[in-house]
Amino acid sequence: MEVFKKFSVFCGVGCFAASLFGASAEQASKGEGLSAKETASKKETVSDSKTYFKVLGWMNTMQSGIRSLDLNADEQSVYMEGARLALEGKEAPTKLGDIMEPMQKFLKDRSAESEKKRMAEVKVIAAENRKKGEEFVKKTMEANKNLKKSASGLVYGITKAGNDVKASEEDSVEIYYKGSLIDGKVFDESKEKTVTFPLNGVIPGIKEGLQLLGEGGEATLYIPDNLGYGEYDIPGIPAGSTLVFDVKVVKVIKPIKSAGADKEASKPAPTDKKKAGDASVAPAK
């Protein structure tokens, strides 16, 4: 039923659009042309639609995983030919049943080969970024003697310790934060709204750093890649990146124990007397 509902909506839009164009044609035949404002609006709509379809093509390509195959120019061209056939409602270039098995093997092998090549390139990039990060942190610590370094390698500067209520790994925290690369580029931030999350679900550097602060505490954390995202190359954060986080802890949220767990915890532990009694049941040797 949903298909028919969607179809009827599009049909309604199409009919409405057709009536507008019909009216415009009728107005034109009567010498009532579009105003300059209406003409500009029409041009903007056409321009917007091109952008929408371009973004749609980008999204579909990114989500399909086709980029992992590292297509060269010729391969991209034939891929687009296939996409055009589908857009035009034409049949596939060959029978799918005849080609599916060897094609799946080819794509699997090609993807594995491309991934191996990509990972080798990422390792090189990660090593370069790691070195830059180490140099940056070293210079930053030399310029700011108040910074401290933990056993794990986390470097931090506490500007406000906060109160005595501190988080543990089992807790959740409500914070403000801003995450940057060493060149100052911000890749993520909470801005005006706080963010709440469990500490056991974040990268090690954040988990360790937030446990140093009480509620109301503020700090800057310098997180090496091994305490961050390592050699993962993710959008906005190149592999091997050292991360700089400005954080403020607003609230520490303790886990809520269930009634059953509290009841179970309230049960007395077995006593030595009970154990002795159990032992006395066994036949004497």
d(CA 46, CA 285): 97
Please state the length of the chain.
Answer: 285
Question: Digits of tens for pLDDT over the chain (285 positions)?
Answer: 332 222 222 233 233 233 323 333 344 344 445 555 555 555 566 578 889 988 998 898 888 888 888 889 999 999 999 999 999 999 998 888 889 999 999 999 998 998 899 899 999 999 999 999 999 999 999 999 999 999 999 999 999 999 999 999 999 999 999 999 999 999 999 988 999 999 999 999 999 999 999 999 999 999 999 999 999 888 899 999 999 999 999 999 998 875 555 454 445 444 444 443 443 333 333
* 199, 193 contact by CB (below 8 A): no
What does each C-alpha distance from 114 to 51, 63, 71, 207 come to in angstroms?
Answer: 30, 17, 10, 34
For residue 219, which of 210, 227, 208 has the smallest C-alpha distance?
Answer: 210
d(CA 111, CA 131): 30
The tokens for 92 are 């596939």
Structural domains in the chain, CATH included, are: 2-87 (no CATH), 137-253 (3.10.50.40)
d(CA 157, CA 272): 51
The tokens for 5 are 């509902």
Q: What angle do CA 68, 74, 80 make, to 5 degrees?
A: 75
